[in-house]
Amino acid sequence: MGRDVSEKERTGTVRGIRIQTLSIWMVAATLVVSVLIGDGIVNVKSDYEKLHKRTKEYIVAQENAGNLMIGSNYLTDQARLYAVTKDRSYAEAYFTEVHKTKRRNKALDGLEKNLRRENEEVLQASKEAMQLSNELMELEIHSMKLAAMSVGEDMNRLAEEIRDYQLTEEEISYTEEEKSEAAGELVFGEEYRFMKRQIEEKMSSVTESVIKICEREQAESDDIMKNALLRQSIYTALIVILVVLAYIMIAALILRPISIYVNCIKNNNFLQITGAYEFKYLAATYNNVYEMTLEQQNMLRQKAERDALTGLLNRQSFEQLKKQFHDSSDSIAFLLIDVDVFKAINDNYGHDVGDQALIKVANLLDDNFRKADYVLRIGGDEFAVLMDKVKADQKHIISSKIDMINEVLQHPQGDFPKYSISVGIAFSEEGFHDELFQQTDQALYHTKENGRCGYTFYDELDHS
């Protein structure tokens, strides 16, 4: 495979159709058909613009109908959430929608702008739906006033509409619990639901009417578009024929040697000396370079990915794994590991023993975790393990591995010092998200602050 290619083999004449000549003929034929297609596109564009002009206003009207319903539902959601939770942010979101976002108002304005005069019935149904939505606001603001008073909310921090809403004497005399119940009844009761159904029915009617109008407009232009598309189909068929002819010639002249080279590269083999002069010359050159640099590339790859002392994956590999698992949908477990009292080992026994301590931890981690797991050294005495397809209900598997490692480290042979590891563990249901490292670090900190030589699962910490 790695032999030198002879001069005759590299410079011999290649017989057959020249790629340059074939390209000229194919380009000329393609240009002719392209002119025909261009003329067809002009006609199709003209016909399409007529159809587009007729349907665009109805499509926009349909979107506005949906937005009117979305805006109404949003107000309902915020009012109900406030009635249930008494969280002021929902009331603020409610009036942000009313005064700033104004989806309902903008949607109604859009319907008035895009619907033609002959669609007055559709527009009237939209206005009636808007009126019903405004009537619902009376119930919603009433509900929010009662909900706010039930928790002693500072009225100055609420919207003017809530502050100014007047409750009856009977309502004012309600207990806090009665006010809360009354607030919920206003936005969850039968009267409210009945009005919501009326809005939905009217907007559903508007949407269906707009769709029918749009379909009718499209049907009127159908015959015109069919004729234009028939012409384009003929032109397209000509292009397909040209493409097929070009592919047949290219496959015979170019693709076969390329396919052979791709398979050789996939299998990490030398390239076969085959094909036209250009391919033979390329293969010979590639083989010479490949043979000379293969070993050097392997050495560079090892150096880039592996920690020199322990042989584990290094910090650079860790950064790549985080990116790799960031968009993953798999559940993972992430372990952050510190070697306990490592500085004391270095100070009391010397750096050679310290290095041996790190190597021992690395070997124990590599031996005890699965081959599919990623064991890394990401700092001086800091290690990590990333376990793919592991869920929180498998904690006992992880904890038993850590206990086994600490058991070995706590009972060394000979004069080697006793030491241990502290571990923080966190789980993620969908890959390596940005907070996973912080969660694991908090769990590790808890382990170190509570005696070391053990582990802490982040989801078992008290986060109150």
Q: Say if 309 falls within a structural domain.
A: no
Model pLDDT for residues 309-327, shown as the tens digit of each residue: 999 999 999 999 999 999 8
Whether the pLDDT of residue 118 is over 80: the answer is no
Domain span holding position 448: 315-460
Mean pLDDT of 75-84: 91
Q: Say if 173 falls within a structural domain.
A: yes
Mean residue pLDDT of the chain comes to 83
How much is the pLDDT for 462? 80
How much is the pLDDT for 3? 45
Q: Are 221 and 50 in contact (CB under 8 A)?
A: yes
% of the chain beyond a pLDDT of 90: 44
Pair 347, 276 in one domain:
no
Tokens of residue 72, six digits: 């109404």
Q: Say if 14 falls within a structural domain.
A: yes
- The mean-pLDDT minimum among 38-47, 95-104, 164-173, 375-384 falls in 38-47
Pair 329, 273 in one domain:
no
Pair 98, 207 in one domain:
yes
Q: Say if 241 falls within a structural domain.
A: yes
Model pLDDT for residues 362-411, shown as the tens digit of each residue: 999 999 999 999 999 999 999 999 999 999 999 999 999 999 999 999 99
Pair 239, 343 in one domain:
no
CA–CA dist 344, 354 (Å, integer): 9
Band of residue 267 on the pLDDT scale cut at 50, 70, 90: confident
Of 303, 336, 361, which residue sits at a domain end? 303
- The mean-pLDDT minimum among 154-158, 353-357, 419-423 falls in 154-158
Residue type present at position 20: Q
Pair 136, 263 in one domain:
yes
How much is the pLDDT for 283? 65
CATH at residue 433: 3.30.70.270
% of the chain beyond a pLDDT of 70: 84
Bigger pLDDT: 194 vs 11: 194
CA–CA dist 185, 143 (Å, integer): 8
Q: Say if 296 falls within a structural domain.
A: yes
Beta strand 454-457 with 421-428 is parallel
Whether the pLDDT of residue 294 is over 70: the answer is no
Q: Are 330 and 388 in contact (CB under 8 A)?
A: yes
Pair 166, 284 in one domain:
yes
Band of residue 130 on the pLDDT scale cut at 50, 70, 90: confident
Pair 293, 352 in one domain:
no
CA–CA dist 364, 385 (Å, integer): 12
Tokens 């010092």, residue located: 417
How much is the pLDDT for 12? 47
Model pLDDT for residues 213-228, shown as the tens digit of each residue: 767 767 776 777 777 7
Tokens 């640099």, residue located: 293
Can you give the pTM of this predicted structure? 0.40
Pair 344, 419 in one domain:
yes
Annotate the chain with three-state secondary structure: CCCCCCHHHHHCCCCCCCHHHHHHHHHHHHHHHHHHHHHHHHHHHHHHHHHHHHHHHHHHHHHHHHHHHHHHHHHHHHHHHHHHHCCHHHHHHHHHHHHHHCHHHHHHHHHHHHCCHHHHHHHHHHHHHHHHHHHHHHHHHHHHHHHHHHCCCCHHHCCHHHHHCCCCHHHHCCCHHHHHHHHHHHHHCHHHHHHHHHHHHHHHHHHHHHHHHHHHHHHHCHHHHHHHHHHHHHHHHHHHHHHHHHHHHHHHHHHHHHHHHHHHHHCCCCCCCCCCHHHHHHHHHHHHHHHHHHHHHHHHHHHHHECCCCCCECHHHHHHHHHHHHCCCCCEEEEEEEECCHHHHHHHHCHHHHHHHHHHHHHHHHHHCCCCCEEEECCCCEEEEEEECCCHHHHHHHHHHHHHHHHHHHCCCCCCCCCCEEEEEEEECCCCCCCHHHHHHHHHHHHHHCCCCEEEEHHHCCCC
Q: Say if 349 falls within a structural domain.
A: yes
Q: Which of 331, 356, 285 is nearest to 293 (CA)?
A: 285
CA–CA dist 126, 112 (Å, integer): 9
Whether the pLDDT of residue 200 is over 90: the answer is no
Model pLDDT for residues 227-265, shown as the tens digit of each residue: 777 877 887 888 888 788 777 767 766 777 788 878 888
Residues 6+ apart with CB under 8 A from 307: 313, 314, 362, 376, 377
Pair 255, 117 in one domain:
yes
Q: Residue 171: how many CB atoms within 10 A of its CB?
A: 16
Bigger pLDDT: 24 vs 450: 450
Whether the pLDDT of residue 272 is over 50: the answer is yes
- Residue 123 falls in which region: left (phi positive, over 0), alpha (psi -120 to 50) or beta: alpha
Q: Say if 64 falls within a structural domain.
A: yes
How much is the pLDDT for 314? 92
Please measure the distance between the N-terminal and C-terminal CA atoms of the chain and give it in whole angstroms.
Answer: 68
Q: Which of 319, 287, 295 is nearest to 1 (CA)?
A: 287
